[in-house]
Structure 1
Amino acid sequence: MSNATGPSDLPADPRPGTPPSMPADLLQAAHRAKGFMPRAEGIALFETAAEYGSRGPICEIGTYCGKSAVYLGAGARLSGSVVLTVDHHRGSEEIQPGWAHHDPTLVDPRFGKMDSLPTFRCTIAAAGLEEEVIAIVGRSERVAGLWNTPLGMLFIDGGHSEEPVTKDYEGWAPHVVPGGALAFHDVYPDPADGGQAPYRVHQRALASGAFKEVRREGSLRVLERIGPGIG
């Protein structure tokens, strides 16, 4: 996955003060964990969780092995929040056998299927974040259909093809509170850098008028909810 960063035409960050620093032990735990979250993007995720977690629970779509959940959990601890991370743990399309990001050590030989849940549990336990990070094991769209809790922050980083990204946005974004954050990972305006589905859904969120973009870091985009409806 490319980590290319496009030029930003955003205004200067309006948030007051200096962002908090992520504790060194948790930063090291995130560094050790399996996953695809570059350090700078992970720190931006931590800072976003620390800022918006006070407005409600944090929900992550796409857990994998827990790397981004460590960044989010560190922010949740600072803001007094909690992270609910949703994944069926059978792997999205791009990490299945034959794809570039497949990890054969995550295949359960009993069933011949991917299973990242045991690795995730080890990651969170080793980081000491079991009180802050709660796993919800199931398909995002099924869980979204039962969900009714307002969210201070939503991070969409599940399947990266058109259908799963769209379903994640439509199923979960309505739960973000006014003033809450919606973050997307792997947003690449240039098709040469990566897949386009997250970028198109990100653009849809902006076009809805319900969100404004407040931060960019690499392929991470952070939006803040400013209006009703998601479009």
Structure 2
Amino acid sequence: MDETLRRAALAAKGFMPDDEGDALYAAAAEVPAGGLILEVGTYCGKSTLYLAAAARAAGARVVTVDHHRGSEENQAGWEHHDPTVVDPHTGRMDTLPFLRRNLWDAGVEDVVTVVVGRTEEVGGWWTTPVALLFIDGGHAEEQAQADYAAWARHVAPGGALLIHDVFPDPADGGQAPYHLYLRALAEGFKERSRTGSLRVLERVE
């Protein structure tokens, strides 16, 4: 991975451990030239930078989808709330300025297209096949299932599905991403690798 982009990813706000970021990059770097990488859940762009670095190396492109108002677990009073991403004008979270700054500073705006909207709504009208889908959106059960239902069907045969924050033991974390992982295995995906809480699967049916 380009060392400048790796440093940018490491410095960005987010919740991805270094080894999982490297595994995300490695999976995305296998996307064929001209392929599309789609990220569900952007936050401030930490994982987006790993994907952008891989896309640049592979000759692919990245689309990242998020409403940028924060997931349930990011809101005030929750464990993962960061008051520095609250817009003082609206009093609501707004991670979009942080994403745009990170993409600009890293020089990857040419390979990343930002879509602002609820992921399940965008997925409802989306028609382009996806070579790699990375799901890391809201971790409430209803939201996670809606993200999967909207986007997993767009993964091309032989394409990859990556799910973050998969914790089989409830003591380690929320169960919604783990339930997506089990659903994917039951619906035509097989596991290729795992690093920490990151699962890499492939569509085989």
TM-score (norm 2): 0.98
**Aligned-pair CA distance for 1:56:** 2.2
Matches of 2:97 and 2:79, distance apart in 1: 22
Matched position secondary structure for 1:59: strand
Matches of 2:130 and 2:98, distance apart in 1: 26
Q: Kindly tell me: are residues 130 and 55 of structure 1, through their superposed partners in 2, closer, same or farther at Cα, counting changes over 3 Å?
A: closer
Is the CA contact 1:55–1:151 (under 8 Å) kept in the aligned structure 2? Answer: no
Aligned to 2:76: 97
Matches of 2:121 and 2:184, distance apart in 1: 22
Matched position secondary structure for 1:113: coil
Is 1:121 the counterpart of 2:70 in the alignment? no
Is 1:223 the counterpart of 2:201 in the alignment? yes
Alignment partner of 1:177 out of 156, 173, 181: 156
Q: Percent of aligned pairs with the same residue?
A: 60
State the number of aligned residues.
205
Is 1:203 the counterpart of 2:182 in the alignment? yes
Alignment partner of 1:212 out of 169, 186, 190: 190
Matches of 1:125 and 1:88, distance apart in 2: 19
Farther-moved stretch of structure 1 (48-57 vs 79-88):
48-57
Matches of 2:149 and 2:51, distance apart in 1: 22
**Aligned-pair CA distance for 1:53:** 4.6
Matched position secondary structure for 1:124: helix
Matched position secondary structure for 2:31: helix
Matches of 1:115 and 1:74, distance apart in 2: 24
Q: What RMSD in Å do the two structures reach over aligned CA positions?
A: 0.9
Matches of 2:32 and 2:98, distance apart in 1: 25
Alignment partner of 1:73 out of 39, 47, 52: 52
Greater Rg by CA? 1
Question: Which blocks of at least 5 consecutive residues in structure 1 are unaligned?
Answer: 1-21
Aligned to 1:30: 9
Matches of 2:150 and 2:121, distance apart in 1: 9
Question: Which blocks of at least 5 consecutive residues in structure 2 are unaligned?
Answer: none
**What residue identity is the alignment partner of 1:218?**
G
